[in-house]
Amino acid sequence: MASGKTPKFILLITSDQQRIDTLGVYGSKTAKSPHLDRLASEGTVFERAYCNNSVCIPSRASIATGRYTHQHGVEYMEDVVDSTPGLPAREKTFMERLQEKGIKTAAFGKMHLYPLPPRGFDEMKLTGGQGARWDAADGSPLGPGPLGSEYA
Same domain, 145 and 98: yes
9 is a domain residue: no
Judge if 89 and 26 occupy the same domain.
no
Q: What is the pTM of this model?
A: 0.73
Which SS3 state, helix, strand or coil, does residue 37 take? helix
| Amino acid identity, position 27 | G
Q: What is the pLDDT of residues 73-105, one digit of tens each?
A: 999 888 777 778 889 999 999 999 999 999 999
**Alpha-carbon span 4 to 64, nearest angstrom:** 31
Task: Give the model confidence (pLDDT) of 39-48 as tens digits.
Answer: 999 888 888 8
Q: What are phi and psi of 125, to 5 degrees?
A: -135, 95
Whether the predicted pLDDT of 143 surpasses 80: no
In this structure, the answer to whether residues 81 and 67 fall within a common structural domain is: yes
Number of domains in the chain: 2
Q: Which of 130, 122, 123 is nearest to 82 (CA)?
A: 130
According to DSSP, residue 21 is labeled G
Co-location of 38 and 57 in the same domain: no
What are phi and psi for residue 49, nearest 5 degrees? Answer: -140, 150
- Cβ(25)–Cβ(37) below 8 Å: yes
pLDDT for residue 4 is more than 90? no
Catalytic residues: 56, 112
129 and 111 Cβ atoms separated by less than 8 Å: no
Q: Which domain holds residue 27?
A: 17-49
44 and 74 assigned to the same domain? no
The answer to whether 114 and 89 have CB atoms below 8 angstroms apart is no
DSSP codes of every residue in 63-81: HHHTS-HHHH------SSG
Which bin fits 114, alpha (ψ -120 to 50), beta or left (φ > 0)?
A: beta
